[in-house]
Amino acid sequence: MSAQPVKGSRSNDHAWLITGPLVLFAVVCATVTGLISDHPFGGWPLAVVLLVAMVAAGLPVLNFTVRRQSLGVTITEIPLVLAFYLTRPLTVVAICTGAAILTHLWHRMGATKLWFNVARAAAGSSLAVLVLQVLPPVEGVGPRTWLTLFTAAIMVNLVSITSVAGVYTLVQGWQTGRDAFRKSPSALFSAGINIVAGLIVLILITSNWWSLVLLSALVSALALVYRAYAQFFRQHRTLSDMYELSRAVSGSGQDGTLADALLGRVRAMLQAEYATLWLPAQRRHPEVLLTSRIADPGLLDVAPTPAALREQVRRDGQTLVLTRGAGADGKLRTALTEQRVKDVIVVPLRSGQAVVGTLEVANRLGASNSFSRTDVPLLETVAAHAAVALENSRLVDRLRHDAEHDTLTKLPNRRRLIAAVGEAVKIRAPGEVVALLLFDVDRLRQVNESLGHAAGDKVLVEVAERLRACAPSSALVGRAGGDEFLVTLRLEGVEAALDLATQLREQIRDEMVFDALTLDVDTAVGVAVHPDHGGDAVALLQRVDLAANAAKSVPGSVQLYSPALESRSLRRLGLAGDLKRALEDGELEVYFQPKVTLGDRRLVGVECLARWEHPAHGTVSPDDFVAVAEHTGQLGRLTEFVLRESMRRSRDWSHGEQPLCVSVNLAARTVNDPRFPGLVRELLTEYGVPPQRLTLEITEAGVLDGTERPVPILRCLRDIGVRLSVDDFGTGNSSLAQLRRLPVHEVKVDRSFVQGMATDPGDLAIVNAVVTLSQQFGLTVVAEGVESELTLELLQDIGCEIGQGFLFSRPLPYERLEAWFGAQVDPETVAAGELPRLRVVP
């Protein structure tokens, strides 16, 4: 499979849009020079010598490392300075253009790059000789001559830098072009050094041509010194890269990021366009094929090379090196050419004597560069480190697998089941529940006491096999501990869960024969479902366990969890008294979660959320203490507490020149209280908060309960000037058409749909429909549960205005919120009186 083009980049053929104007510019400058110069051409024998010198100076690229940065330098400015002084103007243009043609033909560049570089050389030299004609004539080799020649030579470099930056901007975007301009000072600095060296050479040869002998000796000595320098730094850089790579690879084996740590570094180390890791399927490990490409920030699941190469290396266990025109048969060479692969090295990854995969690099950067045999030991050394890290990673994976599976039945254990249920309840599929069926094996203790624990183990293994065989393919079957087995899956509802529990119980009730003894093993089954019976894995497992215990004494042995199964009345009674004291003593706290515009990341407000840290019970769920408040007549006090705290903070923020809107959640009972609008009006007046800065959020079930009871209260609140929002929209049976009859301003899309947008097309379609219709009805849309950049991009694409979620911030207490403001909000926007803009979104 061929690699895909880089998103946002254009074809290199667009470089002709720069090449054409450069050619025209060169022609104009050369023409003007020819008209104003008395002798534009001449000195051809010397021109040939300078042409040879310029080609020789342009072929090698000298690399120097300065402060950890690599600087590539050519010395073409030296013969260029001599040409300006010793030959005629248009002869210099001919020398520069001819040298560019010969140099880039030697490098085997494509036609687009070749003619761009030739046009760049012609334009730069044409401008330089025109500048020479405008400046005072060159006489002798004094300081005025130095300045004149330096100015002309630097013009060539300025044209080169400008044209290269223009091509980068046109082909790869303005950011790449800007980076090219940022690197221009170092290029001009090295050019300046070369020009000064050229002037020194000019002074020497004009004083005495025999100085060329000494210069030749000096150049030869410097070449030897540079060769030693380059070899030393190449070895030093290779050792440094190997050290860093070894550290990265060793550290990544534990967290499963081996490919990320390995491939990018290998590609950079060997200056390749692609680096690919291939691990064929092995036992329970699936096939892995990942590629790092120079233009992509992430890893691709394709490779540019044919699969036959990797299969050959795996089969033979030998490194394979294919370079341009060598090392491949005709059919394979054709396949490589079709994929635009000019050269490749494939080395085996060994675990002992076995080959467990391959590591490869393809397409050495540079049109004329190619991999050599000296690169093979380096890549083989990297492969050895990677193979060790891979084996360690798989060992850790095996240990982790053993830690999450029961050794007797090979089923997932309780730890794995808790994690699986926790993941399942995070995304609520519309019209489905997460069902937990707990099978408790009856009379296993008697089996252990009568026949021994070996017989009991056989019973457990047999029950496990029967459950695994009978359960639907979408179900996860695990051993919850002891004689308990758990089956969890998504179903249509509670009735479907009860039906499945009954069917499975009947199917695993068949007789079990142990030698001459036949056992009739039965099970008691408890059933619990999300979201009806719990919002997290721990609560669901606790409640399904209660149901299974109750099933042992219930006819039919299948019991659905109900709140009556646990003694919650005492706890709730205790919470009622504790809540009263907590409200009196100020133990409750209000947390704030920011709301941000998705388009320009401006902070528009915060949602105010009550939190209670109980001294004995720890953190009490808002659902629990709100329910207690409703049933004990304390809901009004709780609501007033949250309203007062939110308005006080809104007032403080306004005084601090950072006005923010606040949102407060209301229970359905509060919306039906005719005294509530008066309370809101009094609090707004008391704290001096404009009504439009307060948003009251009512759940969809509370505002659309099928009656007209909430409508008068909502209209009173609207008349006050308060904004009204429908919270958790989409979780009920209402529609946007029903909202048209209500005086609401805002719709909050439930987090379950927002979090599922990136993986579920149905959720994406629901959110899209809500946003589109709400905007047509003039309603603001707020997306809850924005937790990833991908979700943020999808919301922006469909036109959602505002979002809140963990991507921006979790709910924070006031002190931490102030610190968050200081870290995230751009102070310049606050000072300007605008809505605060987030500086960074973590």
* CA gap 408, 399 in Å, rounded: 16
514-519: average pLDDT: 66
pLDDT top residue among 113 and 676:
676
pLDDT tens digit sequence for 780-790: 899 998 988 88
Whole-Å CA distances, 571 to 71, 582, 617, 629: 72, 16, 10, 14
* CA gap 472, 469 in Å, rounded: 8
pLDDT top residue among 64 and 564:
564
807-812: average pLDDT: 89
* CA gap 802, 821 in Å, rounded: 18
pLDDT top residue among 111 and 647:
647
How many alpha carbons fall within 13 Å on the CB side of residue 648? 8
- Residue 29, pLDDT > 60, answer yes
- Residue 436, pLDDT > 90, answer yes
Mean pLDDT score of the chain, rounded to an integer? 78
Closest CA to 522 of 446, 452, 413, 436: 446
- Residue 735, pLDDT > 70, answer no
pLDDT top residue among 252 and 547:
547
pLDDT band at 8 (very low <50, low <70, confident <90, very high): very low
pLDDT tens digit sequence for 451-473: 778 888 888 888 888 898 888 98
Q: Tell me the percentage of the chain whose pLDDT exceeds 70.
A: 79
* CA gap 117, 97 in Å, rounded: 9
Task: Look at residue 65 in the predicted model and tell me its pLDDT.
Answer: 45
- Residue 280, pLDDT > 60, answer yes
pLDDT tens digit sequence for 53-86: 777 777 665 544 444 444 445 777 778 887 877 8
Task: Look at residue 737 in the predicted model and tell me its pLDDT.
Answer: 62
pLDDT tens digit sequence for 342-378: 888 888 988 777 888 888 888 887 655 678 777 888 8
pLDDT band at 2 (very low <50, low <70, confident <90, very high): very low
Helix (H) or strand (E) holding 308, with range, is helix 307-316
pLDDT tens digit sequence for 478-494: 998 888 899 999 999 98
Task: Look at residue 573 in the predicted model and tell me its pLDDT.
Answer: 63
pLDDT band at 233 (very low <50, low <70, confident <90, very high): low
Task: Look at residue 668 in the predicted model and tell me its pLDDT.
Answer: 78
- Residue 151, pLDDT > 60, answer yes
Task: Look at residue 732 in the predicted model and tell me its pLDDT.
Answer: 56
Task: Look at residue 690 in the predicted model and tell me its pLDDT.
Answer: 92
Task: Look at residue 682 in the predicted model and tell me its pLDDT.
Answer: 92
- Cβ partners under 8 Å of residue 457, min gap 6: 408
- Residue 119, pLDDT > 90, answer no
- Residue 334, pLDDT > 60, answer yes
Least confident of 192-196, 605-609, 770-774: 192-196
Task: Look at residue 664 in the predicted model and tell me its pLDDT.
Answer: 92
- Residue 835, pLDDT > 80, answer no
135-162: average pLDDT: 80
Whole-Å CA distances, 599 to 731, 758, 795: 26, 19, 9
pLDDT tens digit sequence for 694-733: 999 887 766 665 556 678 888 898 999 999 988 877 665 5
Asked if residue 76 lies in contact with residue 121, where contact means CB atoms within 8 angstroms, the answer is no
Integer-rounded Cα radius of gyration of the chain = 38
